[in-house]
Amino acid sequence: MAPEDPWVIKDAGKDIVEERQRSHAPGGGSGAVPLQQEVQEARLPERTPRGPGKPGTDSSVSDSELSSGTGMRCSVWREQTQRKMPHYWALALAAPLVLLGHTVRAEDCVVDATGECEDAELSLRQLRGERLSRHLGEDQAAPTCAAYGCGEFVRNHPCQCTPQCKKFGNCCPDYQATCVKKEDAALGSDVDSPTVPEEDAAPSCASFGCSEKYVANHPCQCTAKCAKFGNCCSDFKAVCLAKEEASEAPAAPATTTTEAEVTTTSSTTAEETAAEEEDVTAEDATGETDDAWKGTVDGILHLDDDWIKQDKVAGECATAKRGDECFIAVNWAMSDGIYEHPEWWPELQAGASSFEEFQAHQHLMNATLCPQPCMVRYQQYLVPTYRSQHQYPMKGVSYGASPLKNTGVLLTDDDFMTDITGAMWDSWGRGDLDLLKSMGVNTLRMYGNDLNYSHRSFLDGAYKRDMDIIVGLSDWGFIQGPDPCDRNGYECFSQVYEAYKNNLLKGFTIRNYTMYHPALKALIISNEPDLKVHPRTSVCRAMISSLDAILQAEKDLNVTENPIAFTVTFSFAAFGKNPPGLGQMQELYHCLEHPEAPPTNYKPKNDVLTAFHQRWVHSFNTAAPGHVVEELFLDKYKKSIFWSEKMKIPLFIGEYHSVHVGAKDDLPILVGDALSPTYPFFLGYNFFEFSVRYDKGGSEKKFGMFGYGDCPLLDMNYSGQVYTIWDLVPAPDKYGYPLSVALSAAYGKGSKLPTLRKSPCMEATLGVS
């Protein structure tokens, strides 16, 4: 018997789930009401929205509602937090279901004699970041300033009595009467003119003082490094630099303190804490000198495979664990709350801010509910990684892990970088990223790219595992969608601009959209356009107008740091007398030199040729064996214009796997070439591919290194369809040798089968396969 499933909605939802089981059973009929609609009809009445510092009126379940026969109970309240994000909403029958929802157990929800759903109401207020001033035990006094006293911040108090509590929306209800009036009375007639309350005063170096140390609670800084991090107070130059120039002495340390020993999450909070420390503090906390922090931003530094956590200024940290109350609160805020009330999270961006950033906000609102999170410290650079002198070869895998196990079933969305598809890639799901990391993989080449979803969590997950990500634009704007550019002679600026701008706003960038996420290394503008675009003479216009749109989107959002590389991944086809792949690259370059001339006939808004020289890498796909690639491509490329005195354009293989030879002998060839001085331009390859594409059928089924077994691990509700996530089984090459073992050996991790998740298996599944 499977353990009780915390995702199954009890009571009101119980009858629904049982009925749903019958409707999915043989002979169950096809006219059942959709499951989401059924639960919506049974949900509790909505409450007035509440949040930090926002007044609201609680509503409760009436006696008539409790006796109405619908079986409505507190546990159903979870559904209403999903009403704005229906594509994330789902149920499970016998095992955990993957969703951006919240765990609500029957034992956590008690309906008292008055029908008040106390614990559910409490949890909902927690989710909205509200200070918990109710739900106190009988022996506890109500939190008041009369009881607490005025002035000092106390971390565990559910409300505060400090001059800053209005700013943070956490004042006790009698703060005005107890503290403000008492202060006014003490001042009496000595006050000659009205003063600006401290919480309303503009932050400035004049009030903070000039300091050598970062002050965690200050919304802006007055340190020598503030210019580097873009968080100086507006009068920093006038107050601190002028003072330093006049005295030629370091500024005196700031002495002002405020209540926020709780770390804030504006762009100047715990994220910069460690970097703003002086050398001796950083050395004490991390064992590294200040040099170790150079070129990085935001909370945790990654050095030599060790995560160095926040230093003593930030204090201890703990990122919320999946399923605990803090995780539920943060998850709700990310997936629902910020969309309903963005003003409650003014320093965060929907779809772009990280889990840790949201947790830091919840920590500020209620330090008892959420601990200070361990922030990720991101690398910072000004040259695309693939155009720099980086010293590691690309050891990649093409990751298009369709969950389908049969041919003929429609895949509703092929973007596997979303939060919900963590059912496959994340540790709480099947754990694909951990598996690939154990095999020596350091790069993932991705495919689908749905502009409606956030990709921040996926990129953070890859970054924490030292994985580079290569993404591609979707074909939606080119040959699909309501207004594809193939209908307009492949002038693709408007379609690509809107799509890519949304990508930048949904996790591709960090720090208020000004910096690319450092896990993101390259963008494939199009995959094999030489085979897709007809006539082929339109390839230049399609690619150059798309590059122009991408540059414009970056410019409009002011994305200037951590630039990524651009590429077009061509096929290994040969046209005319040109070498396979290389001929297409040469044609595109000639078009970039003169875009307004035929066959492009396009006037770009941006300097596309300079972008090519500064940010371009070439790429192609091939199913040829390694020695053939050397002969037909690599040897010719090193003699081409792309590796000459005029330019140095690196190269990688976007998809590589020859099914006609033994993988054990073939895969190491090009790994060695990526390390060899013979081909200094060659970055490496991405093995094609992670899992068997059963849904495509035919020859496509020959490529995946993992097939799907018979153990249903999870159900995943994604884009309107529930999919079963199966366990992985090793797939062999033509000689029966496991492809995963061959790749692991080629990538330097030894010749043994990787550890695969095989349990627990669900007893039943709603997913299609």
What CATH code is carried by the domain that includes residue 650?
Answer: 3.20.20.80
Q: What angle do CA 478, 450, 433 make, to 5 degrees?
A: 125
- Domain identity same for 619 and 665: yes
Q: What is the mean pLDDT of residues 72-80?
A: 35
608 in any annotated domain: yes
Closest Cα partner for 157 from 167, 145, 166? 145
489 near 540, Cβ under 8 Å? no
In this structure, the answer to whether residues 498 and 637 fall within a common structural domain is yes
Average confidence score pLDDT of the chain: 75
DSSP track, 405-438: -STTPPPS-----SSTTHHHHSTTTT-HHHHHHH
What pLDDT, on the 0 to 100 scale, is given for residue 256? Answer: 37
Write down the residue that tokens 């085979």 correspond to.
531
In a domain, 119, yes or no: yes
Distance CA 408, CA 375 (A): 44
Count other Cβ atoms within 10 Å, centred on residue 464: 15
Reported as half-sphere exposure (CB side, CA atoms, 13 A), residue 747 has a value of 25
Residue 446 burial (C-beta neighbours within 10 Å; 0-12, 13-18, 19+): buried
pLDDT band for 164, please (50, 70, 90 cuts).
Answer: confident
What letter would DSSP give residue 17? H
672 pLDDT tier (thresholds 50, 70, 90)? very high
pLDDT surpasses 80 at 274 = no
pLDDT for the residue 114: 38
Per the CB < 8 A criterion, the answer to whether 99 and 92 are in contact is: no
- What DSSP state is assigned to residue 367? T
Question: Is residue 651 assigned to a domain?
Answer: yes
- Please check whether residues 336 and 414 belong to one and the same domain: no
Considering the domain architecture, whether residues 372 and 450 belong to the same structural domain is answered as no
Cis peptide before 599 (omega within 30 of 0): yes
Residue at 692 is within a domain? yes
SS3 8: coil
427 & 506 share domain: yes
> Which tops the pLDDT comparison, 152 or 677?
677
Are residues 359 and 498 located together in one domain of the fold? no
348 within domain boundaries: yes
Is a pLDDT exceeding 80 seen at residue 181? no
Query: Taking Cα atoms as reference points, which of 561, 644, 554 lies closest to residue 383?
Result: 561
Contact of 547 with 525, CB cutoff 8 Å: yes
The pLDDT of residue 98: 36
Q: Range of 28's domain?
A: 12-127
Q: Are residues 408 and 340 in the same domain?
A: no
What's the chain's length in residues?
769
Choice among 292-306, 320-334, 492-506, 592-606 with the minimum mean pLDDT: 292-306
> Is residue 230 assigned to a domain?
no
730 preceded by a cis bond (ω within 30 of 0) = no
Residue-wise pLDDT for 637-657, tens only, equals 999 999 999 999 999 999 999
578 and 503 in one domain?
yes
Q: Is residue 429 scored above 60 in pLDDT? A: yes
Distance from C-alpha of 508 to C-alpha of 554, rounded to nearest angstrom: 11
Answer whether 515's CB lies under 8 Å from 575's CB: no
Strand order in the sheet with 706-718: 97-98, 706-718, 721-730
pLDDT of 131 reads 33
Question: What is the full DSSP assignment across 683-749?
Answer: EEEEES-SB--TTT-GGGGGS-SEEEEEEEEEEEEETTEEEEEEEEEE-B-TTS-BHHHHHHHHTTS
* Strand partners of residue 622: 656
pLDDT bucket at 126, cuts 50 / 70 / 90: very low
State how far the Cα of 203 lies from the Cα of 622, in Å rounded to an integer: 58
Q: Residue 537 has what pLDDT?
A: 93
Domain tally for the chain? 3
**Per-state percent for the chain, helix, strand, coil, to nearest 5:** 35, 15, 50
Residue 577 lies in a domain: yes
Q: 583: part of which helix (H) or strand (E)?
A: helix 582-593
Domain assignment present for residue 47? The answer is: yes
Terminal CA-CA length for the chain: 24
For 510-538, the pLDDT digits (tens) are 999 999 999 999 999 999 999 999 999 99
411 in the same domain as 370: no
**3-class secondary-structure state, position 768:** strand
What number is the average pLDDT over the span 609-625?
97
- The backbone torsions φ and ψ at residue 651, rounded to the nearest 5 degrees and listed phi first, read -150, 140
Helices (H) and strands (E) in the chain, counts: 31, 17
Residues 453 and 421 in one domain: yes
pLDDT at 238: 84
Q: What are the structure tokens assigned to 620, written together? A: 């192609």
pLDDT tens-digit profile of 698-713? Answer: 888 999 999 999 999 9
- In 452-508, beta strands by DSSP E: 468-472
Averaged over 759-768, what is the pLDDT? 88
Please give the pLDDT value at position 650.
Answer: 97
Q: Which of 19-23, 90-94, 312-316, 563-567 has the lowest mean pLDDT?
A: 90-94
- Span 383-405, average pLDDT: 92
Q: Structure pTM?
A: 0.65
The confidence score (pLDDT) of residue 247 equals 56
Return d(Cα 468, Cα 371) in angstroms, integer.
30
Whether residue 362 is found in the same domain as residue 400: no
Choosing from 127, 144, 171, the residue where a domain stops is 127
pLDDT tens sequence across 679-737: 999 999 999 999 999 998 888 899 999 999 999 999 999 988 999 999 999 999 999 99
Residue 95 has pLDDT above 90, yes or no: no
Half-sphere exposure of 430 (CA within 13 A, CB side): 28
Q: Which of 279 and 510 is assigned the larger pLDDT?
A: 510
543-563 pLDDT, tens digit per residue, is 999 999 999 999 999 999 999
Q: Could you write out the three-class secondary structure of 39-74?
A: HHHCCCCCCCCCECCECCCCCCCCHHHHCCCCCCCH
Closest to 621 in 3D by CA, of 683, 571, 681, 566:
571
The residue from 77, 99, 127 where one domain ends is 127
Pairing of β 394-399 and β 682-687: parallel
Spatial CA neighbour of 536 closest among 547, 526, 521: 526
Same domain, 323 and 433: no
Q: How many CA atoms lie within 13 A of 679 on its CB side?
A: 22
Torsion angle (degrees, nearest 10) of CA 576, 580, 584, 586:
-90
pLDDT tier at 187, thresholds 50, 70, 90:
low
